[in-house]
Amino acid sequence: MTLRLSRVLPAALLLTGDLVSAQTYKIDSVDDITSAAKSLAQNVMTYYHGNETGQTPGILPGPPPAGDYYWWEGGALWGTMIDYWHYTGDTTYNDLVTQAMLWQTGPNNDYMPPNVTASLGNDDQGFWGMSAMLAAEVNFPNPPSDQPQWLSLAQAVFNTQADPGRHDDTCGGGLRWQIPFSNNGYDYKNSIANGCFFNLGARLARYLDNQTYADWAEKTWDWVTSVGLMDADYKIYDGAHVETNCTDINKAQFSYNNAVYLLGAANMYNYTNGDSKWETRITGLLDATIRDFFKNNVAYEIACEQSMTCTTDMLSFKGYLHRWMTTMTQIAPFTRDKVIPLLQQSAQAAVSQCTGPPDGKTCGFQWSSGTFDDSVGAGQTMNVLGAVSSLLVDNAKAPFTNATGGTSAGNFNAGSGSSSFTNTPAAITTGDRAGAGILTALVLGTALGTFAWMSTGA
């Protein structure tokens, strides 16, 4: 690992020029990277209060207006911390992570706790499911035997999303954004909800060597491309409404969409023993991801970063991009030579701007600017932690399967007792559409001005 770093990082340092001399975190060696990751992990956990008296385990402060963070980002945080343990071996936060992951499972152990139903999306549930899947893949310490297990939790999420009640004929198929039909946004089908489902299906197919999961993954990829949410240039767009038969595609692009599909495609490539179809898809999507989401070899959120109109959600996307692209190189090794040097340069830019107060180690968001930008939060710190800890990939084992040492217990019937939310919805009215439009505006926030030109296809 040290030898490989020594060949690549000096070039990255030259690209960032004088910025390196002012940086607090060093990533020149394995020891430097491990030390930086430990400091970043400590910093990101200062945003979490769920282990304090009177607070709720598992979630970051929120949802708005109670705090900045929606429920899903807690699930994303624990995935970041599981990867941190996997790469560094630091067990400091393991008990806290386990408590958090188990507290939010809900009464049916499917990551649908009743208190979040009013805003529960397939993507929200999917992020918790993907973190549980990661725990199974890296042999994160298993919960006590009387508690739900990581693999069974991932299966429960997948099974509830594969339920016929979540799928209909509008737009020719695909998952809707929201789960309960009464939620604003139920009339929207988007790339991230279907991407999480695709990702989980592909990973379960590989982990369990099971064709049923693979069939669902294949079907989901085909639907996303057929409806135009992923185009021939591998641009992945946000979503569209069912009342237009998904023809009103919102052409906003977000890096976590590319990342979630890349990791899923890599699992399908691995599961199919290197099928050329999946190699072609990975290559096309990877090239598009580098084209659209790396500015001068530094991760960049194209939809909002230039004018800094990013919402709290968007401020966490770079971390998933780095983490999932890194894992891709382990299970689709042909991508390694293109991806690892790129991520090392991007990580160097990330740590170079972590110079904010109060300790001179606080990280901002605009990595390519080279300077701390005063944009601080859990997502911004998660981004850098994910980028830095992933640099230790050469010392880490590839994701396990149940045939190669995976120890998590599964349950093919997990989620069977869950609420299907299959009540027949009333006909969509103009008022409903207005409500959904208001929610979309809230989700997209001030970024709408940035997205307007995208929606025109310009």
Q: What angle do the packed helices 336-352 and 276-293 form, to 10 degrees?
A: 30
Q: Answer for the pair 98, 145: CB distance below 8 angstroms, yes or no.
A: no
Percent of residues, the chain, with pLDDT higher than 90: 84
Closest CA to 309 of 444, 121, 124, 152: 444
CB atoms within 10 A of CB 427: 5
Where b means 16+ CB within 10 Å and e means fewer, 334-344 reads ebeeebbbbbb
Which residue carries 């991760």 as its tokens? 299
What's the one-letter identity of residue 352?
S
Q: How far apart are CA 171 and CA 192, in angstroms?
A: 16
CB atoms within 10 A of CB 434: 11
- Give me the pLDDT at residue 23, please: 65
Closest CA to 195 of 260, 241, 289, 239: 260
Q: How far apart are CA 453 and CA 307, in angstroms?
A: 14
User: Quick check: bond before 164 cis, omega within 30?
Assistant: no
Q: Answer for the pair 388, 352: CB distance below 8 angstroms, yes or no.
A: no
List Cα–Cα distances, 216 to 125, 329, 409, in angstroms: 17, 23, 22
Which residues touch 49 (CB under 8 Å, ≥6 apart)?
55, 61
Q: How far apart are CA 187 and CA 256, in angstroms?
A: 22
The whole-model pTM stands at 0.89
pLDDT tens digits, 111-163? 999 999 989 999 999 999 999 999 999 999 999 999 999 999 999 999 999 99
CB atoms within 10 A of CB 109: 20
pLDDT tens digits, 63-109? 889 999 999 999 999 999 999 999 999 999 999 999 999 999 999 99
Q: How far apart are CA 256 and CA 311, in angstroms?
A: 14
pLDDT tens digits, 291-308? 999 999 999 999 999 999
